[in-house]
Amino acid sequence: MSELNKIALKIVSNGKGILAADESTGTMSKRLESVNVPSTSDNRLLFRETLFSSESMKNCIGGVILYDETIKQKTSSGKTISEIISSSGAIPGIKVDTGAKVFASSPKEKITEGLDGLRERLKEYYELGARFTKWRSVFNISGEYPSKLSIDANSHALARYSALVQECKMVPIVEPEVLMDGNHSAEDCYKKTSNVIKKCFEELMLYNIDLSGIILKPNMILSGTNSDKKISNEKVAKLTLKCLEENVPKNVPGIAFLSGGQTEIQATENLNLINKYNKTNFIMTFSYGRALQQSALKYWSKDIKDLEGTKKIFNHRANMNSLAAVGKWSAELEKK
């Protein structure tokens, strides 16, 4: 077992998942302003530090993805954010892409940037305590999209990123997100997601990536947000499993789903069903941002000094997703 494989398994094993707290300052500002909290550096740190010091971090969270600002911050106790996370047994991680920009060769699509200077940034993040990283590529669905050009270019970037990350002794999270936006059917999502994931792994293998030392972060197979062809949660689970079983090499240790615009309950319920039907050897867990934080953020916004109450709300959501990661969640547990 390689060191990278050990790190990947520690992040996703035993019902643990990933807290995606890597919102950029701009995105975090929108989240805070939406609940009428001023987006100051101190407030962003206070909310995140509250989550990172919650009880559920020990049993439910295997890794936390941070943003550049956060990993460099010190807490009120003088500890670094990485130290707070590590003290709970979770592993600090870092988002390293610099965002999805307009793709010059196909202006209605996006290309993720951030490869320039990445090797040097990775060394700095390693020194700051990070042991895994994240890079997100985004693909929109319509009749002609995602184009072969976009799939090829973004998959190539994911592979180059992964090679640099593993060179620096960290685990890359590979996140090819096929977006929910649109009126496409779940069948369309299944086909396009299959094409994207298949190409991603072709590129990863071409770059000699140790697949036992990565974590895949895909979308679930869902109908588009504006589609009138909605499918049952059982169909979501079965199509998602079919897509992954057909396109993900067997030596990938873990798959941590993004929530991708689902509500908190939808994201938990779908993950639970995926694990109930899962007959593969893949660990299937969560890498949620809003679907782990939204209720806690709303509660906290009413009184930003009520840290214990905020932790309680976050603990509940983390516990629900931890149960879903082993197929033991039920709707009744939400009421307790």
Domain residues of the chain, as ranges?
Answer: 3-335
CB proximity list for 34: less than 8 A, separation 6 or greater:
none
pLDDT at 127 over 80: yes
Task: Taking residues 296-322, report their average pLDDT.
Answer: 97
Residue 76: the pLDDT is: 81
pLDDT at 194 over 70: yes
Residue 336: the pLDDT is: 65
| Amino acid identity at 32 | L
What is the share, in percent, of the chain residues with pLDDT greater than 90?
A: 94
pLDDT at 283 over 80: yes
Residue 277: the pLDDT is: 97
Ramachandran sector of residue 3 (left: φ over 0; alpha: ψ -120 to 50; beta: rest): alpha
Annotated catalytic residue within 175, 177, 264, 269: 175
pLDDT at 329 over 80: yes
Residue 10 a catalytic site member: no
Task: Taking residues 150-160, report their average pLDDT.
Answer: 98
User: Model confidence at 75, in pLDDT bands (50, 70, 90)?
Assistant: confident
CA–CA distance, 211 with 214 (Å, rounded to integer): 6
Annotated catalytic residue within 10, 16, 217, 311: 217
| Mean pLDDT, rounded, of the chain | 96
Pairing of strands 17-20, 171-178: unpaired
- 3-335 domain in CATH 3.40.630.30? no
Spell out the alpha helix ranges (H) of 98-215: 118-127, 148-167, 186-206
Ramachandran sector of residue 182 (left: φ over 0; alpha: ψ -120 to 50; beta: rest): left
pLDDT at 77 over 90: no
Task: Taking residues 17-32, report their average pLDDT.
Answer: 95
Residue 335: the pLDDT is: 84
User: Model confidence at 208, in pLDDT bands (50, 70, 90)?
Assistant: very high
Residue 79 a catalytic site member: no
pLDDT at 296 over 70: yes
Task: Taking residues 212-225, report their average pLDDT.
Answer: 96
